[in-house]
Amino acid sequence: MTTERTETIVHNATKTFKFSFPTCTNEELLFKLEVPVEIPYDGSPRELVQRVINMFHIPVYLEDELNEKLAQFIGDETREFHNSRDAKLLDQLKNSELNVDGIVKQWEKLFKENVVEFAEQKGTSDEEVFAAAYHKLVHSPALDTILQVENSYAKTVSNMMQSRDEDINKLTERQTEEMEEKMRLLNVSTTEEEINETAARQFEAQSVAAARWESQLDALRHTQRAAHRAWLMAALDHYQGQAELATPSNSPLTTFPPEAGELVGSGGLGEPRPQLEESFTIHLGSQLKQTHNIRLVAADMLDLCALNHHDNGAAARLQPALALYSGELTGAVVLCEAGPAGTGDPPQRLLRLAAAATEHHFDDINRQLRHIAEAIRAPAEQRNARRAQQAGGAAGATGSGGGGRGWWGGGRALRPGDVLVTRHSNLDTHVIFHLVVDDSLKADITSRHPAILGLRNILKAACCNDVTTISLPLLLRNEITEVRRVRLRSVGVGGGEAGEACICRAECGGVSQEMTAAWCVRRAELVLKCVKGFVLEAAGGGGAELRTLHAALPPHAPDLFAAVQSLLPSVFRVAGPLRAPRRAAPL
């Protein structure tokens, strides 16, 4: 049994495969099989063997041998063909006989055709185009006009929300008077069934009124968002090549009077609200020193997030608009209660602040929270199941059975220390970190508490996502409703003389606990020391540098503010002026 190859030149891509096998009766008599094969062969050798066996009636016991011989023949001939072709091409390249430019153009053409045919068709999205247009316009002389337009939109929404509140309050007053009259005439001219029917009718009227106003607000925000985007894109075309942007005839400014006062140099939000604040410049690190600013302020966290849409509200939008699509974003940490004492929802005031103006760049906060709820459902269930397995079946059933049901759609889907992130362009902060906490923060905590670890994750995420300014509640408490003055002894961390100190009474879910000044100073010291280490750790991981940290204390507590103010230099290395030694006057 032998195989032979026909001698052909390199340019001939057809090779003849020869195969010989003896007959069944006489081994000296050979049958010879010749099959032309295209080299290189793109098909399957085994399929070609089946076709040859069926066509020439080859005995089936020769199938394995024929497969082996044909595969070896195709491999050898293909290798020889490539070697001969490549050697000839190399000789042509050495002799400058090849058109290299033509080959490159041909490869480029084939690559483009392949990409167009098989690659995913993905271009610049409308959101990216709008972001680029907005960023270009706010860094141009058109900034004043844009801010006034956005402020006029916000005023319209605020006025409608005020009308809604007045309408619902009047309805509530009428219903209250009606119910009081019904209750007064109970068992005289009215029955309990009539009172129940009246309560059901009033509840339905309240629901209908709230739904009607909410529908009108949603329609107004949708109209403003679409009109604002269309106006900005038209304004960009109008601004190209011009030094000043003229307000188009369909601009919302045509229906509103101009802002009182100039945008720049007008004093910002009109009359500033009196508040205690102090700024420090600190240095972190021993060898590679980092410089940061800490601003200690006695104010509510949500006041730091709010924008003033009245008076000269366009001035308040200046800094958030300039930094919106930049590498210098601002963030804020807002505590979100989770546990039996609360529903787990974000503060209602935050939702109201976000709804007071149309969100022109991102989804509104309610839609963002719904998307987060859908995204975290499966990971939360997996985490809870894993922790239940580690803690045992009984402990897992106890931990997942109770708890308040929040907007995330399940009992205890989120645990203390978890962080949710929402984006905003209609607030004074671009990013809000919703830190989930529980009632364990009422007592003394350690640096391993989930809320402290949540702060660590927040600072890491801030540095990785260009957030250079962040505000956080220094006491990690949300509700402080009463402040009174008493005489306490040794209220400082290291002890001290007797003096006046403040007691902040926090009320949550009907449980009140007195937070002494010593407790507040200990909590502030713990948070500051932890934040100091977290900032150093986050800076070592790369990303943006956290330049400014706003530490918020409860308002109306001047003694607590003074105590924390004196505590800061002992926690951080505060930069101070260099004082030259006083020289003695010459005699």
> Do 285 and 168 lie in a common domain?
no
End of a domain among 80, 114, 148? 114
Is 460 domain-assigned?
A: yes
> Do 253 and 319 lie in a common domain?
no
What are phi and psi for residue 545, nearest 5 degrees? -90, 130
Tokens of 68: 């082996």
Phi-psi region of 516 (alpha: psi -120 to 50; beta: other; left: phi over 0): beta
> Do 245 and 334 lie in a common domain?
no
Least confident piece of the model among 2-6, 30-34, 220-224: 2-6
Structural domain that includes position 92: 14-114
pLDDT by residue (tens digit) across 176-207? 999 998 888 887 888 888 889 999 999 999 99
Is 88 domain-assigned?
A: yes
CB-based burial, 437-473: b 16+ in 10 Å, e otherwise? bbbebeeebeeebbbbbbbbbbbebbbeebbbbbbbb
The whole-angstrom separation of Cα 48 and Cα 59 is 15
End of a domain among 258, 291, 316? 258
215 compared with 187, residue with greater pLDDT: 215
End of a domain among 54, 82, 114? 114
Is 396 domain-assigned?
A: no
Is 566 domain-assigned?
A: yes
Band of residue 441 on the pLDDT scale cut at 50, 70, 90:
confident
> Do 450 and 472 lie in a common domain?
yes
The whole-angstrom separation of Cα 205 and Cα 209 is 6
pLDDT by residue (tens digit) across 65-118? 888 888 888 888 888 888 888 888 888 888 888 888 888 899 899 898 888 887
pLDDT by residue (tens digit) across 481-500? 444 444 333 333 334 443 44
Judge if the upstream peptide bond of residue 581 is cis by omega within 30 degrees of 0.
Answer: no
> Do 420 and 478 lie in a common domain?
yes
Would you say the C-alpha torsion 356, 358, 361, 367 has a positive or negative sign?
A: positive
- Using CA atoms, how far residue 480 sits from 300, 346, 506, 520, in Å, is 10, 17, 4, 12
> Do 104 and 228 lie in a common domain?
no
> Do 566 and 421 lie in a common domain?
yes
> Do 540 and 517 lie in a common domain?
yes
Residue with tokens 């894993």: 386
pLDDT by residue (tens digit) across 138-175? 888 888 888 888 888 988 999 999 999 999 999 999 99
Tokens of 93: 């390249």
Burial zone of 151 (CB within 10 Å; 0-12 exposed, 13-18 middle, 19+ buried) = buried
What is the average pLDDT value for the chain, to the nearest integer? 77
> Do 180 and 297 lie in a common domain?
no
Total domains in the fold of the chain: 3
Highest mean pLDDT among 6-15, 60-69, 122-131, 302-311: 60-69
Band of residue 546 on the pLDDT scale cut at 50, 70, 90:
confident
- Using CA atoms, how far residue 473 sits from 83, 344, 523, in Å, is 73, 18, 11
> Do 417 and 541 lie in a common domain?
yes
CATH assignment of the domain containing 339 = 3.40.220.10
Is 268 domain-assigned?
A: no
| pLDDT for the residue numbered 374 | 85
Is 32 domain-assigned?
A: yes
User: What is the chain's length?
Assistant: 587
The rounded Cα 77 to chain-centroid distance in angstroms is: 59
> Do 88 and 217 lie in a common domain?
no
Q: Write the single-letter amino acid at 432.
A: I
Is 44 domain-assigned?
A: yes
Is 350 domain-assigned?
A: yes
Percent of the chain with pLDDT over 90: 17
pLDDT by residue (tens digit) across 320-365? 889 899 888 999 999 987 644 333 567 888 888 888 888 999 998 9
How would you list the strands of the sheet with 548-553, edge to edge?
419-423, 431-437, 329-337, 467-473, 548-553, 290-298, 277-284, 573-574
> Do 71 and 147 lie in a common domain?
no
